[in-house]
């Protein structure tokens, strides 16, 4: 008789399933994205990101304390400045909101938490682009690199552990590494948004940081085209050569193939960003009672890890850590 394979035996009980589980998500895998808004006394709700807020300095400090006690090792901080201008001055101002927040968190928690800062200009520019514009309105790659170097130094002075350049300028990792080393911040690491797609899934994030791209524009001239996969491997190789310490793929669930291919080719730590739209879709469907939100969140984040990510940036960090602990 043809032997019938019996693969269900090990699925019979929860203990058997636990014993053979190949992928286990833990709070150690999670990085919590946090927004801090200049000039507010109380946290402000974000309609398209239920459960996520624009923090005040006080509420940010409290939130980070709770994340530490839940076992989450790291946070990535995004600033919402009061004033925006063409150069995104607030991004590199020593008194800019992210620098103030980083100093505060470092003073309060020491090395108990890894402090990461998103390194970009879009939250700080009045035109909403990730770089400086030429007179004709294009994003000027090399002029932007000089600004990124200034932002990196300001974040390093404020006590950041890791800077995370997200603007997709060519050469940004090398420019930032050079600037940090020159100012003797050799210990500050770089988590490179290495493969970052021009995605429709960033909408709620732009609400969170009050960003509107001028003239109804988009970022397709610097972020990647979702029809391409091999291009991501070139982007990642460039960042490895330029000195990235951690690689990142973004978004996550629609790019599991990219995560798997980067994992197969590289041995540096690999992060994936489960972005605002991915979170909002789960929240909205769960609020309608159409799916079990906790279950789908766990399924999606476990899939991201299964595909090869070591670290996941996710707005579910706190909720998932609560479920896991």
Q: Helices marked H in the chain — which ranges?
A: 14-20, 57-69, 97-109, 141-157, 172-182, 203-208, 230-242, 256-265, 276-287, 293-307, 317-324
Distant-in-sequence, close-in-space partners of 244: CB < 8 Å, separation ≥ 6: 173, 190, 191, 192, 194, 268
272-288 as b/e: b if 16+ CB within 10 A: bbbbbbbbbbbbeebee
Residue from 29, 104, 118, 239 touching ligand PBG (CB under 6 A): that is 118
Question: Residue 129 Cβ, how far from ligand PBG at the closest point, in Å?
Answer: 9
If one asks whether residue 276 binds ligand PBG (CB under 6 A), the answer comes out as: yes
Among the listed ranges 20-28, 115-123, 141-149, 150-158, the one in contact with ligand PBG (CB under 6 A) is 115-123
Quick one: residue 135, left, alpha or beta (phi over 0 = left, psi -120 to 50 = alpha)?
alpha
Q: Which of 35, 124, 148, 205 forms a contact with ligand PBG (CB under 6 A)?
A: 205
Q: Which of 84, 196, 283, 305 is catalytic?
A: 196
Query: What 8-state DSSP symbol labels residue 253?
Result: G
- Closest CA relative to residue 87, chosen from 126, 114, 61: 126
Binding residue (CB under 6 A) for ligand PBG from 92, 155, 166, 302: 166
Measured from the CB atom, the residue of 49 and 64 that comes closer to ligand PBG is: 49
| Min CB(35)–ligand PBG separation in Å | 10
Per CB under 6 A, 180 contacts ligand PBG: no
The site that binds ligand PBG (CB under 6 A) totals a number of residues, namely: 10
197 touching ligand PBG, by CB under 6 A: no
Residue 196 bears catalytic tag: yes
Q: How far is the CB of 19 from ligand PBG (least distance, A)?
A: 35
93 binds ligand PBG (CB under 6 A): no
Other Cβ atoms within 10 Å of 78 Cβ, number: 23
> Which ranges in 158-269 belong to alpha helices (H)?
172-182, 203-208, 230-242, 256-265
Q: Which stretch binds ligand PBG (CB under 6 A): 24-32, 106-114, 117-125, 254-262?
A: 117-125
283 belongs to the catalytic site? no
Residues binding ligand PBG (CB under 6 A): 118, 120, 122, 130, 166, 202, 205, 219, 275-276
């Amino acid at each position: 008789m043809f032997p019938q394979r019996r693969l269900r035996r090990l699925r019979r009980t929860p203990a058997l399933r636990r014993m053979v589980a190949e992928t286990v998500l833990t709070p150690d895998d999670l990085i919590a994205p946090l927004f801090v808004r200049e000039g507010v006394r109380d946290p402000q709700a974000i309609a398209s990101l239920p459960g996520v807020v624009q923090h005040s300095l006080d509420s940010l400090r409290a939130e980070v304390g709770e994340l530490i006690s839940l076992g989450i090792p790291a946070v990535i901080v995004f600033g919402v400045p009061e004033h925006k201008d063409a150069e995104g001055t607030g991004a590199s101002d020593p008194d800019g909101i992210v620098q103030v927040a980083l100093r505060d968190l470092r003073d309060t928690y020491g090395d108990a938490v890894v402090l990461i800062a998103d390194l970009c200009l879009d939250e700080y520019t009045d035109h909403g682009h990730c770089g400086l514009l030429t007179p004709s309105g294009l994003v000027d790659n090399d002029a932007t690199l000089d600004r990124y170097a200034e932002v990196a130094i300001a974040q390093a002075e404020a006590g950041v552990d890791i800077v995370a350049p997200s603007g997709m300028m060519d050469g940004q990792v090398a420019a930032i590494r050079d600037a940090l080393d020159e100012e003797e911040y050799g210990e500050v690491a770089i988590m490179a948004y290495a493969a970052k797609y021009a995605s429709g899934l960033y909408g709620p994030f732009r609400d969170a940081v009050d960003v509107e791209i001028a003239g109804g524009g988009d970022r397709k001239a610097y972020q990647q085209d979702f029809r391409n996969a091999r291009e991501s491997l070139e982007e990642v190789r460039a960042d490895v050569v330029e000195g990235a310490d951690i690689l990142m793929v973004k978004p996550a669930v629609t790019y599991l193939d990219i995560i798997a291919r980067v994992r197969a080719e590289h041995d540096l730590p690999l992060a994936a960003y489960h972005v605002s739209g991915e979170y909002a879709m789960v929240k909205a469907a769960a609020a309608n009672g159409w799916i079990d939100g906790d279950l789908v969140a766990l399924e999606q984040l476990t899939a991201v890890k299964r595909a090869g990510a070591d670290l996941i940036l996710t707005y579910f960090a706190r909720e998932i850590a609560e479920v896991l602990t």
